[in-house]
Amino acid sequence: MGDVLSWEAVRAYDFRGALARARAGRAWRWACVVAAGLVGGWLGLALGGHVVTPIGPADVTFALVPQWRGETVVDVAPFGQLTFDTHRAPLRVEATISDIRLAAAEEMFTDPDSINRMAAGIGEDLREGVIALAVRALLVAALGALAMGLLLFRNVWRAVGSAAVSLVALVASAAVAAATFNPSAIAEPRYTGLIAGAPQVVGSAEAVVSRFTRYQEQLAGLVGNVSMLYEATSTLPVYEEDESVIRVLHVSDIHLNPASWAIIGTLTQQYAIDVVVDSGDLTDRGSAAEDAFADEIADLEVPYVWVRGQHDSMGTQRAVAAQPNAVVLDGEVREVAGLTFFGAGDPRFTPDATRLNPGPGEIAGLGEDQAESVAESGEKVDVAVLHTRAQAEAFDGVVPLVLTGDEHQRSTRSGTEGTRFLVQGSTGGAGLGGLDHGSGRPIPYQASVLYLDAETGRLQARDDIDLGGIGLTSAQVERHIEPESGRPVGDRGSESGDAADTPESTAEG
């Protein structure tokens, strides 16, 4: 009997009426206002919670996004993201480099003091960006909640209440983020995307942080040295054009140093260069982001013969080949500026730690195959261009002149079969890697002007040019006359060694 009464009581209970009464109560109305405030504020932040702030030569987009896990994310497209567990509030802070302002970047290389001014102003730029982001976040969150309240309630006061709820929630979240902020999280990033290899590339975050001041000083020295190089190259002698001579500027191992383009451009003009030959390592990592560095080649307005180095990728090779005046050699013979060149890229790609690169024996074997191919083709090759000495050795007696790089130190010798081997130093001062070479002396910027007979294609003389490395402003030019052998390359009995390296004249500035 009791069960029947209970069931009838349940059936008699007016659920709809109870629901209507609950909806008419204050608790329900306030719950709806709070929900509208939270949802509307979230939509407002998602749609408009971002600002663009200039920091140094870059425009950085800061964004504030609600999410359960608090973190700071730095997006360095196209390489990937770095994520830091900096706080515990339900907010995600995003920073994305949206644009690099070329004018500001170029100023760093024309004004030595600009990098110091930039470093001093970054803190203020960052502070202004964070303040602007906070103000905009509060504004768009309140507007989003207000719009949501008007849409749901069609009541101004309830909509204002929703806006107030969003503001309170955002301010409270910001306060929690500030209270739980962990500055040491910068030393423990999580890497995603291509940048996942960053620990192997730049070392641990702790080491980078501890060495930052030293690297900043060295970088400032490098940038400051650019203006000194401009002045140094302006003191070099100017040579008149001679139609019987082909002038070749041999450069190598630029390693992403922008100062090199100023040097190459100045030497090309002052020496009336007919063709520039680059024996590799234009970049440091061969990454897609470095491809834009090759765009400077087009400004030289003379042919630019290039072979791939061990730090250059196939992507780098395509970027160089895209320049209108570039001639990329990778196992073929080409005639350029009245000379016949053979060139081949380095088979290694050392920045990729997962790749199994060939050893010295395999590289030498590849060079032997290439030299044999040139010899059997019957083509008269004037100059062979390769990146490394091991690959070039087999060309002794096959071509009269071989140009290489890789060693970051200039040297020259005559092969037993009469071929002249010229190893160029680093025209980029070994790039930023030159800052840590450990020898205690700056690595000089080196290049050579080669004078070849326009009729025979044979080397007659060369000017070796050394420009002072970081911290130095000297410029030295040494003239070397190539002796007449009186016989074609390939005859045995030639004197080995470097008899041609007696300077005829030296100019210093």
How high is the pLDDT of residue 202?
Answer: 42
Q: What is the pLDDT of residue 209?
A: 44
| 336 domain-assigned | yes
417 and 368 within one domain: yes
Residue 445 pLDDT > 70, yes or no?
Answer: yes
- Answer left, alpha or beta for residue 497, where phi above 0 means left and psi between -120 and 50 means alpha: left
Instruction: Work out the number of other CB atoms within 10 angstroms of the CB of residue 13.
Output: 10
Given 198, 231, 254, the domain boundary residue is: 198
* 205 part of a folded domain: no
Same domain, 116 and 191: yes
Average pLDDT of 488-493?
44
What pLDDT, on the 0 to 100 scale, is given for residue 37? 81
* 7 occurs within a structural domain: no
Whether the CB-CB separation of 145 and 40 falls below 8 Å is answered with yes
Among 183, 198, 213, the domain-final residue is 198
Position 174 scores a pLDDT of: 85
The predicted-structure confidence for 496-505, as pLDDT tens digits, reads as follows 334 334 334 4
For every residue of 24-89, DSSP letters joined together read HSHHHHHHHHHHHHHHHHHHHHHHH-EEEEEETTEEEEEEEEE-SS-EEEEE-TTSEEEEE----S
Q: What is the DSSP letter of 221?
A: H
The answer to whether residues 342 and 266 belong to one domain is: yes
Q: Tell whether 203 is covered by a domain.
A: no
Question: Do residues 258 and 177 both lie within one domain?
Answer: no
Residue-range definition of the domain harbouring residue 249: 221-508
pLDDT at 504: 40
Q: Which of 96, 60, 67 has the alpha carbon at shortest distance from 81?
A: 96
From 55-64, 87-96, 236-245, the region with the lowest mean pLDDT: 236-245
Domain total in the chain: 2
| Residue 207 placed within a domain | no
pTM higher than 0.95 for the full model?
no
- HSE value, Cβ hemisphere, 13 Å, CA-based, for 406: 20
pLDDT digits (tens, 9 = 90+) for 153-195: 888 888 888 889 888 988 888 888 888 888 777 656 676 654 4
| DSSP track, 144-186 | HHHHHHHHHH--HHHHHHHHHHHHHHHHHHHHHHHHT--GGGG
pLDDT bucket at 327, cuts 50 / 70 / 90: very high
Residues of the chain above pLDDT 90, percent = 31
pLDDT band at 84 (very low <50, low <70, confident <90, very high): confident
Is 474 in the same domain as 434? yes
Q: What is the mean pLDDT of residues 275-293?
A: 92
Question: Are both 273 and 338 inside the same structural domain?
Answer: yes
Residue 264's domain is classified under what CATH number? 3.60.21.10
